[in-house]
Structure 1
Amino acid sequence: MDRVRDLPDDDNWIPERRRAIGDRIREERRRQNLTQDQVWMAARINRWTLQRVESGEEVKLSTLMRIAYVLDVPLADLVR
């Protein structure tokens, strides 16, 4: 029988993973030679929201989906 993976005792791993997602988004944006302004306007999100995403703060899944769409990359690649 398959076993369910247990969570760590604390949630310290969550901010680390959010920062990693933000880093991947920033790296992809820069790789495509796009500015933050270009991305937030195309994604129809707020400038501060994109800055929060790239800094690893808590954001909505729909926001990540918008950014992935604008960058033309699978969401899974950004959140892996």
Structure 2
Amino acid sequence: MENHIIELSERYQLKATDDCLVLYQLKLQDNGTWERVKALATKSPDYLLDTLIRLELQSEDVTTLEDVAKTITAMRAELKEAINIGRTQ
């Protein structure tokens, strides 16, 4: 199982196995290293995506519904790829 880094407005680390998905939110520390600050474990890709959308839309500069749709589409594609990569390794 390999970790996959997802770069959006924040940085996330995803671990995907056949049994579980774990999403960590990462924060850059003053010493230049990344630290896990939040974690979510679930079996549901939809729940994970909903959580990621909520986190991202809070920090994204979205002013129109078109911006929201583009942000969600980008996150869905990135998450789907990360889950597929994690489960095939």
TM-score, normalised via structure 1 length: 0.31
Bigger CA radius of gyration = 1
Indicate the structure with greater strand content. Answer: 2
TM-score, normalised via structure 2 length: 0.29
Indicate the structure with greater helix content. Answer: 1
